Structure 1
Amino acid sequence: MHLDTGVEATLGVASLIGMFFGGLICGPLTDRIGRKPMYTLDLLVLVVASALSVFASEAWQLILLRFIIGAAIAADYPIATALLSEWLPRKRRAGMFSAVIIIWYIGASLAYLVGYLINEFMGSDGWRWMLGSGAILALIVFLLRIGTPESPRWLVGAGRVDEARRVIENSLHVRVTAAELTGSLPRTVESRGNVLDLFRGIYLRRMLFIIIFFTCAIIPLFALLTFGPQLLGSLGMGSGNLTNLGTAIINLVFALGCVPAMKLLETIGRRKTIIWSFGLMVLPLIALGLWTNAPGPFIVGFFCLYALFSGGPSILEWAYPNELFPTRIRAAAVGVAVALTRFGAAVGTFLVPVSLVTLGTSATMFIGAAITFIGFLACIAWAEETRSRSLEETGAIEGVPPTPTTASKVGSAP
């Protein structure tokens, strides 16, 4: 389409801006109407918008469709992660969230590999098939999601105890009574929450922590994912379609970085893992800023080190919001976190191509290092330890012990 730098940058951030609105709206909505209805609706929106991208003829059409796709993706963060966390046993939460994020990075790596192949064999119109491929994948996932049960935790909180009992019996083949599900839990405690609850008391501190560390982790990450080929090209690491291969390799290392983090999160704990991860993530960005004319293997190596060290924050971006808030506002917490952090990521990603042109590669890398260091300080100040604790314990307000129920055991049993 022969786009200028400004339009290209707008295309890069359109989906992130869509994620801002999608997370802000769909997170609280998921707490209000349930996980299951939203779990399939967002995939349908993704299918339609991705399919329409194939036929876009103007830049504004692509920008609009990328915005819609971003909103659908952001909706899936609170829906899918809340549903997953509320079904998982406590000892498997970190491992399963690790598996999800590993698959996410493998998908990101494969996206660049597919992009490389499409560019090689389909020429200048290959980008249409890149964007359209999302419709095929989303349709497959939509079909796989049919029949997914609702969260028993959410059902109990909504007063649908008998339905929660049937879901547990059908899914886990465990018979429970209504009394076991509700226990002595007062209805007011698990009443439907208000999004404003996220910004009161200890939950305000937790939201600030999640927003700061989340933003500081994803600004460099999204810049690399969106403009990886341009970044590698500016550092002298190849040009044209070849840079897609380099970016694919780096994204694969992001997945590998989650493997040791998966073990560390359950051995030394969440707090130590995220602090050390952020501290180490600063170093390769500083090295790239100091040595912009390094040989190609060193440049890829520095990027790979950053990717390797980022495993802990990558997993906890999804795990922490689900662990630190109760069921009544869990999806809202994830949605608001996604929304606010994507706004920062959108601003950062928009400025990456501008910074490369106006400030240069070295200054861009130093800015990334400074942002990461802010995340390091936030983790030292506010990171909490949630290892081996139930969702009732981690989501409770300090000083108010949770009431154990059979419903809580669905996602917290050994």
Structure 2
Amino acid sequence: MQQLTQQAVRMDDVPLNRFHLKIAGLTFGAHFTDGYVLGVIGFALSQIRPQMALTPFQEGMLGSSALLGLFLGSLILGWISDYVGRQKIFCFSFVVITLASAAQFFATTPEQLFWLRVLVGVGLGGDFSVGHTMLAEFSPRKHRGVLLGSFSVIWTVGYVAASFAGHFMTLLGPDAWRWLLSSSAIPAFIILLLRIGTPESPRWLMGKGRRQQAMDIVHRYFGPNVLLVDEAPVVSRQRFLSLFGPKYRRRTAFNSLFFVCLVIPYFAIYTFLPSILKVMGLDQNFGTDLLLNGLLIVGALLGIVLTVVCSRRGFLIGAFVFLAACLALMSLLPGSFHFGLIVLFAAFTLMMSAVSNLVGVFPAESFPTEVRSMGVGFATSMSRLGSAIGTAMLPLSIVHFGMPVTTGILALILVIGAIVSLAWAPETKGLTLVDAAHDTQQRTDARAAVPAE
């Protein structure tokens, strides 16, 4: 490890500067686009359903198509980026998103639209794994939690923007869904242009043994007195299966399972929101959407505050318990008790939006540089696979079991998330990335076995 002089400062401890904010802004663009892409499909399906004579199965597959692509993209492109570098995937992912988004305008069959949305999801999934990694590896530890947690706010803004676009664009005519779906190409293309010329992650370069290139980037963007602590070089034979070896398997299991248990209820409920609202005696109109979108944004902002004030571990466990209690009560209350259902759903929406901030924090802080993109990508891919399955199965569950039983099943998933977090969640707040990854391994090992004295 390098010896630090009085004048030198670690990259983990540099003050927040314009470059940090630029990388954050470019990374947030993926989450805005993701929220927008997933938000518009519900409005578009209302027009596509009669035009293409969709079956319930086709409707479910179109609703989950981008999530399936997110699973594939997070898994594959996150793995590739640990070999070829973060910056290449950082730009390539938005080439895919832009082209596939625009091509949706010309889709004539459900199958064409399905595969195009899968491609959009592939690009978003790859960017999720690399974007979280890039921002984590550039950010000072003092501000890392806020920057990574802010992803949820930007995603929510994109989702809200999709809601407004959906309400107004669907009034333009029977082919408005084409303009609505392809409109995601506009923010994607802008983000692509702005990302051209971004530097490679110096931590990745250092791990590859390219120390001089790494230090040139550090000195250029943070100053000549900033030092980057040496990390173990990435072995070229590193394989994806290492995530499941003794060294990383517990952190891989924790990040994948907690992520899955959060997003299954989120996407299942909000993709088919009209059915949920109907049970509560509400219609999905502009006023209702405005209220729910307001709760989502307030919740996301509240999540940033709680990420700073609370411990990461305590916030996550408490949120799981609260969310599970809300859904359990909703499943038990009679449908005629509209006011109680509305209050519980509002509380659920607020807390779900808040705790979603942690999905951008825990995976990036849990893995070391050598497998960070791979680990973040795998956790993200598992979450999107789970949410795709949950979203596709929700209409069938409501038909066969009814809304109360379906809500109870989602509550059980949240209980599983609480148990996993109690067993394995580390505390990474305030640590450097090197120390956080090391501490994660120590804590998870200590919960699995009695530590040697």
Common fold: TM-score over 0.5: yes
- Separation in structure 2 between the aligned mates of residue 202 and residue 334 of structure 1, nearest angstrom: 16
Q: Which residue of 2 aligns with 1:47?
A: 98
Q: Which residue of 2 aligns with 1:194?
A: 239
1:335 paired to 2:373: no
1:11-53 deviation digits (Å, cap 9, x = unpaired): 1111122122111111111111111111111111111111111
- Separation in structure 2 between the aligned mates of residue 286 and residue 254 of structure 1, nearest angstrom: 21
Provide closer, same or farther for how the CA distance between residues 8 and 231 of structure 1 changes in structure 2, counting only shifts above 3 A: same
- Separation in structure 1 between the aligned mates of residue 298 and residue 434 of structure 2, nearest angstrom: 31
Displacement, 1:10? 0.9
Q: Which residue of 2 aligns with 1:209?
A: 254
Match of 1:375 among 407, 417, 434: 417
Partner SS state of residue 150, structure 2: helix
Structural mapping, 1:389-404, within 5 Å: 389-396=431-438, 398=441
Q: Which residue of 2 aligns with 1:344?
A: 386
Amino acid at match of 1:385: E
Q: Which residue of 2 aligns with 1:220?
A: 265
- Separation in structure 2 between the aligned mates of residue 280 and residue 379 of structure 1, nearest angstrom: 14
Partner SS state of residue 386, structure 1: coil
- Contact between 2:279 and 2:335, CA under 8 Å: does it hold in 1? no
Q: Which residue of 1 aligns with 2:13?
A: none
- Contact between 2:137 and 2:201, CA under 8 Å: does it hold in 1? yes
Provide closer, same or farther for how the CA distance between residues 291 and 113 of structure 1 changes in structure 2, counting only shifts above 3 A: farther
Displacement, 1:301? 3.3
Stretch deviating more after TM superposition (154-163 or 321-330): 154-163
1:33 paired to 2:55: no
- Separation in structure 1 between the aligned mates of residue 174 and residue 197 of structure 2, nearest angstrom: 41
Amino acid at match of 2:95: L
Q: Which residue of 1 aligns with 2:211?
A: 161
Match of 1:132 among 182, 186, 195: 182
Provide closer, same or farther for how the CA distance between residues 182 and 305 of structure 1 changes in structure 2, counting only shifts above 3 A: closer
- Contact between 1:285 and 1:365, CA under 8 Å: does it hold in 2? yes
Provide closer, same or farther for how the CA distance between residues 248 and 330 of structure 1 changes in structure 2, counting only shifts above 3 A: farther
- Contact between 1:214 and 1:341, CA under 8 Å: does it hold in 2? yes
1:334-357 deviation digits (Å, cap 9, x = unpaired): 111111222211111111111122
Structure 2 spans left out of the alignment, 5+ residues: 1-50, 444-453
Q: Which residue of 1 aligns with 2:397?
A: 355
1:170 paired to 2:220: yes
Q: Which residue of 1 aligns with 2:166?
A: 115
Displacement, 1:112? 1.3
Displacement, 1:291? 2.9
- Separation in structure 1 between the aligned mates of residue 240 and residue 106 of structure 2, nearest angstrom: 38
1:324 paired to 2:374: no
Provide closer, same or farther for how the CA distance between residues 186 and 202 of structure 1 changes in structure 2, counting only shifts above 3 A: closer
- Separation in structure 2 between the aligned mates of residue 37 and residue 218 of structure 1, nearest angstrom: 28
Provide closer, same or farther for how the CA distance between residues 4 and 139 of structure 1 changes in structure 2, counting only shifts above 3 A: same
1:259 paired to 2:286: no
Displacement, 1:312? 5.1
Match of 2:192 among 133, 139, 142: 142
1:102 paired to 2:156: no
- Contact between 2:303 and 2:353, CA under 8 Å: does it hold in 1? yes
1:37-88 deviation digits (Å, cap 9, x = unpaired): 1111111111111111111111111111111111111011111110000011
- Contact between 1:18 and 1:68, CA under 8 Å: does it hold in 2? yes
Displacement, 1:311? 4.3
1:243-270 deviation digits (Å, cap 9, x = unpaired): x653454244233223333233333311
- Contact between 1:250 and 1:303, CA under 8 Å: does it hold in 2? no
Amino acid at match of 1:236: G
- Separation in structure 2 between the aligned mates of residue 295 and residue 248 of structure 1, nearest angstrom: 23
Q: Which residue of 2 aligns with 1:69?
A: 120
- Separation in structure 2 between the aligned mates of residue 245 and residue 67 of structure 1, nearest angstrom: 32
Stretch deviating more after TM superposition (13-22 or 287-296): 287-296
TM-score, length-scaled by structure 1: 0.88
- Contact between 2:301 and 2:354, CA under 8 Å: does it hold in 1? no
Amino acid at match of 1:200: G
Provide closer, same or farther for how the CA distance between residues 399 and 110 of structure 1 changes in structure 2, counting only shifts above 3 A: closer
Q: Which residue of 2 aligns with 1:82?
A: 133
Partner SS state of residue 181, structure 2: helix
Q: Which residue of 2 aligns with 1:18?
A: 69
Displacement, 1:207? 1.2
Displacement, 1:293? 2.4
Provide closer, same or farther for how the CA distance between residues 393 and 341 of structure 1 changes in structure 2, counting only shifts above 3 A: same
- Separation in structure 2 between the aligned mates of residue 279 and residue 60 of structure 1, nearest angstrom: 40
Displacement, 1:181? 4.3
- Separation in structure 2 between the aligned mates of residue 292 and residue 165 of structure 1, nearest angstrom: 63
- Contact between 1:168 and 1:175, CA under 8 Å: does it hold in 2? no
Amino acid at match of 2:239: N
- Separation in structure 1 between the aligned mates of residue 180 and residue 342 of structure 2, nearest angstrom: 25
Q: Which residue of 2 aligns with 1:291?
A: 333
Alignment RMSD: 2.1
TM-score, length-scaled by structure 2: 0.81
Displacement, 1:151? 0.9
Partner SS state of residue 205, structure 1: helix
- Contact between 2:90 and 2:130, CA under 8 Å: does it hold in 1? yes
- Contact between 1:14 and 1:66, CA under 8 Å: does it hold in 2? yes
Amino acid at match of 2:438: A
1:60 paired to 2:106: no
Match of 2:281 among 230, 236, 254: 236
Identity between Structure 1 and Structure 2 (%): 33
Partner SS state of residue 387, structure 1: coil
Q: Which residue of 2 aligns with 1:275?
A: 317
- Separation in structure 2 between the aligned mates of residue 380 and residue 186 of structure 1, nearest angstrom: 31
Stretch deviating more after TM superposition (66-75 or 228-237): 228-237
Provide closer, same or farther for how the CA distance between residues 364 and 152 of structure 1 changes in structure 2, counting only shifts above 3 A: same
- Contact between 1:236 and 1:296, CA under 8 Å: does it hold in 2? yes
1:103-138 deviation digits (Å, cap 9, x = unpaired): 11111122112111112x213222111101100110
Amino acid at match of 2:405: A
- Separation in structure 1 between the aligned mates of residue 294 and residue 240 of structure 2, nearest angstrom: 36
